Chain A
Amino acid sequence: MFKKVFYFGILFLVTTNLTIAQGTKNYHSPKDILQIIKLKQKNNSKISKIHYLSKSYNKNDIYVFELGTQINQNKKTNPAIFVTANLQGNRHYTSEASLYLIEKIFTNKKMLDSLTYYIVPCANPDAADLYFQNPYYSSNTNATPVNDDLDEQTDEDGYEDLNKDGLITMMRVKNPEGKWVVSDKDKRLMKKANAEKGERGVYHIYTEGIDNDLDGQYNEDLLGGNTIYSNFPHRFEHFKRPNSLFPLSETETYSIVKFIYNHSDIIMTITFGETNFCKQIPKTAKKGKINYNKIKLSKEQAENIKQDPNKKYTYKELLDLVKNYFGNEEVHTRWGYSFKKYTQYLPDDEAVEFLNEDIDNYKFIKSEYEKYQKSKNINEKRIKPNQAKNGSFELWSYFQLGIHTYSLDFWSLPIQKNDTSNKKVEKKKIEEKSFEENYLAYIDKYKLKEKYIEWKPFKHNQLGNVEIGGFVVGYDLNPPYQMLDSVFEQKIPWVFQLISYIPTIKFLKYETKKLGTNIYRLQVWVSNNSPLPYPTTMGILNQTPPPIVVGFKDDIELIDGLKNTPIQYINGNSVQKINWIIKTKSNKEITLKLNSDNCGNDELKIKF
């Protein structure tokens, strides 16, 4: 109750422009969101903190909202979850989801005793802002100036709301060279004329506006911009608009990446956006020739480590083979001496596919998610979440941070029931083909009049008699605000369940064995009590996750073993054993410590 009143208050204060279009009703603009966060921080100043990272081109703050009981500790002992929302800039419901999440965390503050949250409620505020302007349209690029049409001016030919309805929609104009006709399925839809079927084009289609720079093109050089969601440095696609020219070119992405690397307490990232790694086992859209799940050794390599040259290995299998051959100690030191010993067996380009061992984790999470959905009676027929794109935060997080990477999309267009009665095989086709039909059905069902505008004649200065109408440019992909509470009520609790699976590493037990006078063998078992491993298999490959180190607190004479032993990997619900041979007097008590940045700290007293 408090929340609603509170939100209303904020809206009342901030939203002075009452002519704002229908579609944006109740959603919070980036500036509203920051106001909300500031207030929340003020009311919870001991357990929350705002990190201002940078400012976007349009001077919007890029910030992280930290929640936790260790906010002022330099070295944190609690693991942290990093949540980022609305990297697309036009998925405003994901920002709302992050606000809902924050609200839930503050209503159960106890969870902050053992966990830190870093939350970015809106990672692309420049794009998001456009949704709250009059007129509004939907865009996923920030405000960095880009000369889209490579002419003598930059950002000179944007949209105009010619019919003053507060929306940027489409224009159609009859033209003998036109390629478009009215769809026979629904007269509100336009489709390309199919000459093979004897159809002849009637219309030219434009977005609403004028040719500002008089070059014969309409709205070809809009304000801004570059994407944020595909600006991360994993398989970034150069020279593919609306990507910028190179990864991390944008202050939004650069500052977020820098923040993450400066916070090694992060154990999991969760993206609120267009993908859903809980519902759909993630895969990479384009297959490369490099496959770390099917590594084949050359004859010579196979001979070197006495293995079969005809077999194919996953990365993890190969690592274990090489380790067995050269010894664990040799392999886990990185560049110093022997990292090459096994990297020479690896493919010579970066991993593209998700690694099989990590896919097993995703399968586990998916089955838990399905159980969860059943328990909540969630049974939705909606358009599938998107696959993660090259250069996306999700792929970057998985492939380069090597920590647990999940995402949730919360909502997508419902599928028209009539159409899905067809055979299952065709289901995918229907989803792809009839996006606009689904969109119309959804608009009709919820009576969302502002999302489709009937075509109406308009006298255009340059084009003559045109009609203005159709869909909002970029489509408004956000559900009615009123729907959100019920969606989040059903789905946000899953976030907490997901987080409960993060690995936690503790000492399990120890054994000592006297080998001779004052000489002992010490064995210590370290256990992971969670179903997820530390780190991911990808994390072993990229060597980025901080190590778990088991070390002696006291000075001790070691005959075998290291004073600080790194643990490279612990599988879910498993143990790792460490061995030492020690010279010490009997009855001596020593303390072992287990240190990690992001998966637990522990101590163990040992008596000889």
Chain B
Amino acid sequence: MKKYIVLYCLILINIYGVSQTKSLTDPLRFDHFYTYDQITEALKILNKKYPDLTKLVEVGKSDENRTIWAIEINNKKTGKAKDKPGVYCDGNIHGNEIQAGEVCLYLANYLLTNYDSNEKIKKIVNRNAFYIIPIVNVDGRYHFFNAPNTMHSSRSLRIPFDDDHDGLFDEDMPDDLDGDGNICQMRKKDPDGNFYADPNDNRILIPVKKGKKGEYKMLGWEGIDNDKDGRINEDTEGYLDPNRNWGYLWKPSYIQRGAGRYPFEGKGIKAISDYLLSKKNIIVVFALHNSGGMFLRGPGNEIDKELFREDILVYDILGKEAQKIVPGYRYMISWKDLYTTFGDFTDFTHNILGAYSIVTELTLSSEMNYGINKTSKANRNEIEYARLQFNDNLGHGALYKEWKPYNHPVYGKVEIGGWTKFSRRIPPQFMLQDVVHRNASAIIFAASQTPDVHLSVSEKTKISSNVTRLKIKIENKNGIPTMSQHSIARGLYHKDILKIDGQKTIAGGKVNNTYLNTADYKKFKPQIQFTHLKSYEIQEFIFLIEGSGTITINYNSVKAGQKSISVKI
């Protein structure tokens, strides 16, 4: 059997022409990071293997014309995707935050590979439609792997920007002087320097106190003066932050760094926005980033101050559980517990799509040091020392470049060294399996809570020769409401519709006392009632129906899907 799978993969690889990159094995592996091409290949493998459950969608192209892929997971036998609650998740919107892509891929892989064997997963997949975009910033991920970088660079969209206002664009980026694939730091021995080496560990530089002599000068990221203007690395990539370029409370870049010149300037951002706006059933959104170990809910900015009380309750259900699923991560309010940002993706999806939207900041820095946890009051040098020991004894030296001499055209004899691009924000490979499984599980938990509406007839009484009183019970058996309070208050879209078909409805309304049979009768069109169901809420509607025969009761919700039952009167 295994042989066939390998053969099958080889055929696939030939079909899709990705032979330059290392071919993937099936099952997919989560003990190392996949490149952009490999993730594309992985999605194609999943799609080919699970044709009845998946659809591979080309959402659009990036600014450098790479394809942005979505994998949609839906069991057609249990209904169309648009008629089920939609769970959306994406990652790697910042090009350097690569493990976010792995979490998304893992989620898709886990749902599909466990569908047959795990009843709980099967139920979640059957009841929901999943929309997963593992890599939003495809150019950023591509360059992060294929070009020298720091752990922070290749973050933005590839839209050149003239940082130094000299008429040239992105012409003075950092340079990989020693050719090791990383942009590290430069330092120079200098008797007038303002740093000295820590006697404990000479890789750590400590600022000198006033009046004391130092031995080093820090010279910033590795680089030369490419445009010969007397400044080094002053016009680097971008900067357009794809997570500040969305159209809810967007503010220009003199207020919000990285906003872009206008909302949806990024070609891929525009494409994803169009894609999302066409999937009106999306009710849960997870956006994966690194780092910090957080589950963030909105508002993202101080202007909005706070969400509706009803919506906070829902976020609490998801966030508090997620905290337990991923130990150490904290559930927080974006602007209040971090800082205000404008034009965020999740502010857009909460406010414009009306979806419960959470940012996951993957990876705790305390996981990647040598024994200092996040609550300790260790100072910077102590933390740096603990990180270096982690590098020495768990990373075995792979995360940190030892300082080595280099002859710089401007600075003369310098040393190049420091943390590599795969350090600090990205977990070492041995930890990856834990990161992807726990964080995908937080999303699976949210999917298990999407609204699940049940209809039943609670009473059927003839009140005159030709008129039947029908009471319909509608119940949401899950924690997420059928509509957010924000969607209702702002009129984002119409409310859920409870509709009687088949016979003439002469009166109808929402029951306010089921024992007294009193209701708020709707004046016009009683056969159509508008409502929504909160967490675990039960409601009753009363209808007076003329005639006899079969009638159908339909519940039609933009986000909670469609349900219907029939009854004979």
Interfacial residues, chain A to chain B (CB-CB below 8 A): 147, 150-152, 213-216, 233-234, 236, 238-239, 245-249, 254, 257-258, 261, 332-337, 343, 346, 348-350, 399-400, 541-544, 546-547, 549, 551, 558, 562-566, 568, 595
B262 touching A239 by the CB < 8 A rule?
Answer: no
Cβ of B249 under 8 Å from chain A: yes
7 interchain pairs (CB within 8 A)?
A150-B493, A254-B264, A336-B231, A350-B251, A541-B254, A543-B254, A551-B167
A558 nearest in chain B by CB position: B230
Given contacts A151-B494, A247-B263, A336-B235, contact A547 B162 (CB under 8 A): yes
A540 nearest in chain B by CB position: B254
B490 touching A335 by the CB < 8 A rule?
Answer: no
Interchain CA distance A591-B227 in the complex, whole Å? 19
Interchain CA distance A333-B254 in the complex, whole Å? 13
Cβ of B352 under 8 Å from chain A: yes
Interfacial residues, chain B to chain A (CB-CB below 8 A): 162-168, 227-231, 233-236, 239, 247-255, 257, 261-265, 270, 348, 351-352, 490-495, 497, 499, 523-525, 528, 530, 556
B494 touching A147 by the CB < 8 A rule?
Answer: yes
A246 touching B248 by the CB < 8 A rule?
Answer: yes
Interchain CA distance A601-B490 in the complex, whole Å? 51
Given contacts A564-B166, A564-B168, contact A238 B525 (CB under 8 A): no
B261 touching A261 by the CB < 8 A rule?
Answer: yes
> What is the count of residue pairs linking A and B with beta-carbon distances less than 8 angstroms?
123
The 8 Å CB contact of B252, one of A150, A248, A542, A565, is A542
B494 touching A547 by the CB < 8 A rule?
Answer: no
Q: Which residues of B contact A332 (CB under 8 A)?
A: 165
Q: Which residues of B contact A399 (CB under 8 A)?
A: 252
Interchain CA distance A234-B263 in the complex, whole Å? 11
Q: Which residues of A contact B168 (CB under 8 A)?
A: 564
A350 touching B164 by the CB < 8 A rule?
Answer: no
A interface: dominant SS: loop
B497 touching A566 by the CB < 8 A rule?
Answer: no
Q: Which residues of B contact A337 (CB under 8 A)?
A: 234
The 8 Å CB contact of A246, one of B166, B348, B497, is B348
A248 touching B264 by the CB < 8 A rule?
Answer: yes
The 8 Å CB contact of B255, one of A335, A336, A349, is A349
B353 nearest in chain A by CB position: A245
Interchain CA distance A147-B491 in the complex, whole Å? 10
A549 touching B166 by the CB < 8 A rule?
Answer: yes
In the complex, the 8 A-B pairs of residues with the closest C-beta atoms, listed nearest first = A246-B247, A549-B167, A336-B234, A216-B524, A566-B165, A150-B494, A564-B166, A547-B165
Q: Which residues of B contact A246 (CB under 8 A)?
A: 247-248, 263, 348, 352
A350 touching B494 by the CB < 8 A rule?
Answer: no
- New A-B contacts (8) at CB < 8 Å, excluding given A334-B165, A549-B166: A152-B497, A152-B499, A238-B249, A333-B234, A336-B234, A348-B255, A543-B165, A566-B167
Q: Which residues of B contact A564 (CB under 8 A)?
A: 166-168, 227, 229
A595 touching B167 by the CB < 8 A rule?
Answer: yes
The 8 Å CB contact of B167, one of A249, A333, A349, A546, is A546
Q: Which residues of B contact A543 (CB under 8 A)?
A: 165, 253-254
Given contacts A215-B524, A350-B255, A544-B261, contact A239 B165 (CB under 8 A): no
A239 touching B491 by the CB < 8 A rule?
Answer: yes
> Shortest distance in angstroms between A254's beta carbon and chain B's nearest beta carbon?
7
B270 nearest in chain A by CB position: A254
Q: Which residues of A contact B525 (CB under 8 A)?
A: 213-215
Q: Which residues of B contact A233 (CB under 8 A)?
A: 247, 250, 262-263
Q: Which residues of A contact B167 (CB under 8 A)?
A: 546-547, 549, 551, 564, 566, 595
B254 nearest in chain A by CB position: A542
Q: Which residues of B contact A544 (CB under 8 A)?
A: 261
Interchain CA distance A215-B163 in the complex, whole Å? 57
Interchain CA distance A547-B165 in the complex, whole Å? 6
Q: Which residues of A contact B236 (CB under 8 A)?
A: 336
A247 touching B165 by the CB < 8 A rule?
Answer: no
> Shortest distance in angstroms between A240's beta carbon and chain B's nearest beta carbon?
10
A568 nearest in chain B by CB position: B165
Q: Which residues of A contact B164 (CB under 8 A)?
A: 333-334, 336, 566
Interchain CA distance A97-B118 in the complex, whole Å? 69
Interchain CA distance A214-B239 in the complex, whole Å? 54
Q: Which residues of B contact A258 (CB under 8 A)?
A: 262
A213 nearest in chain B by CB position: B525
A238 touching B255 by the CB < 8 A rule?
Answer: no
Q: Which residues of B contact A213 (CB under 8 A)?
A: 525
Interchain CA distance A568-B230 in the complex, whole Å? 19
A401 nearest in chain B by CB position: B261
Most buried by B among A147, A245, A258, A337: A245
Q: Which residues of A contact B528 (CB under 8 A)?
A: 151-152
Interchain CA distance A333-B491 in the complex, whole Å? 44
A549 nearest in chain B by CB position: B167
The 8 Å CB contact of B491, one of A150, A257, A547, is A150
Q: Which residues of B contact A562 (CB under 8 A)?
A: 166, 229-230
Interchain CA distance A543-B165 in the complex, whole Å? 9
Q: Which residues of B contact A558 (CB under 8 A)?
A: 230
Q: Which residues of B contact A247 (CB under 8 A)?
A: 247, 250, 263
Q: Which residues of B contact A565 (CB under 8 A)?
A: 166
A400 touching B264 by the CB < 8 A rule?
Answer: no
Q: Which residues of B contact A214 (CB under 8 A)?
A: 524-525
> Shortest distance in angstroms between A145's beta carbon and chain B's nearest beta carbon?
12
Most buried by A among B165, B491, B524: B165
> Shortest distance in angstroms between B478's beta carbon and chain A's nearest beta carbon?
24
Q: Which residues of A contact B231 (CB under 8 A)?
A: 333, 336
Most buried by B among A147, A239, A565: A239
Interchain CA distance A254-B261 in the complex, whole Å? 12
Q: Which residues of A contact B247 (CB under 8 A)?
A: 233, 246-249
Interchain CA distance A543-B162 in the complex, whole Å? 10
The 8 Å CB contact of B166, one of A249, A542, A566, is A566
Interchain CA distance A546-B490 in the complex, whole Å? 39
Q: Which residues of B contact A335 (CB under 8 A)?
A: 163, 239, 257
Q: Which residues of B contact A239 (CB under 8 A)?
A: 490-491
A538 nearest in chain B by CB position: B254
